[in-house]
Amino acid sequence: MSIKRFIAKEQFYHFFQPIYYLNDGEKLGYEVLLRSRAFPNPEIAFQIAKKENKLFELDSRSIFKAISTYQSSGKNEILFVNVFPSTISHPGFKAFLNQVDTSNFMSRQQVVFEISEAEPVEDLRSFKKKIAELKKLGYFIAIDDIGKGYSGVKSIIELEPDYLKIDRYFAKNLHTSKEKQMFISYLLQYCEQMECSLILEGIETEEELEMAKSLGVSIAQGYLLGKPALLSY
């Protein structure tokens, strides 16, 4: 499969996984996830696109299609959209955002750009400025998979995200791990002081859910709460 043809023909679609408030069961929003029959593992498509210098084109087209799909569904919750750091830093990203604004009717306050951990930030100082610009425009920022990949303490402090999403590793058997419980408790204290929200990913069992609640986790996602799926209209 040619990645150029894959992008040009938009041979991909999106699943949406719900994210819930744990205290009342209300839905905060959805995380959007690229899917394709041509590439059963979506990461492969992005890896090939990066190798062939097509990552910005694939990432921006995917984001545009995801937002259009979500808008058409009539839903009004927050949409978490995965994005590569290089896409945000790309010279064409500002024009892309203008295209999104003129082609869709979603409020910017409905969109959370979720910074992908799959790609390191090359210049954190410059990237911080780009993030500040997005916030000024009204978009929200999340750092994905805290505890995995490049998402270290430095990025959390410098980028001042609105949401911290903890890697699913910390949810797995959370009820039996004092270390994981302690780590999450520390992050919750940080989020309270910095006025950002923590989201725990990967909740799969009732035991994990109950422990998360007892620690004070207020927002979570995972197969127990809702699997990724096509949107219902």
Both tokens of residue 47?
């890896």
Q: Does some domain include residue 66?
A: yes
Q: Which amino acid is at 105?
A: F
Q: Does some domain include residue 233?
A: no
Q: The pTM is what? A: 0.94
User: pLDDT 10s per residue in the chain (233 long)?
Assistant: 799 999 999 999 999 999 999 999 999 999 999 999 999 999 999 999 999 999 999 999 999 999 999 999 989 999 999 999 999 999 999 999 999 988 877 899 999 999 987 788 889 999 999 999 999 999 999 999 887 755 567 888 899 999 999 999 999 999 999 999 999 999 999 999 999 999 999 999 999 999 999 999 999 999 999 999 999 87
- The Cα 42–Cα 158 span in angstroms is 29
CB 135, CB 141: distance < 8 Å: yes
Q: Does some domain include residue 52?
A: yes
- The Cα 96–Cα 142 span in angstroms is 20
Domains contained in the chain, number: 1
Burial (CB count within 10 angstroms: exposed 0-12, middle 13-18, buried 19+), residue 27: middle
- For the CA atoms of 118, 124, 129, 135, the dihedral, rounded to the nearest 10 degrees, stands at 40
- How would you classify the pairing of strands 27-35 and 78-83? parallel
- The Cα 159–Cα 179 span in angstroms is 26
Q: Does some domain include residue 231?
A: no
- The Cα 192–Cα 139 span in angstroms is 21
CATH for 23: 3.20.20.450
- The Cα 184–Cα 135 span in angstroms is 26
Tell me which residue range forms the domain holding 124: 3-220
Q: Does some domain include residue 198?
A: yes
- How would you classify the pairing of strands 140-146 and 111-115? parallel
Q: Does some domain include residue 181?
A: yes
Q: Does some domain include residue 230?
A: no
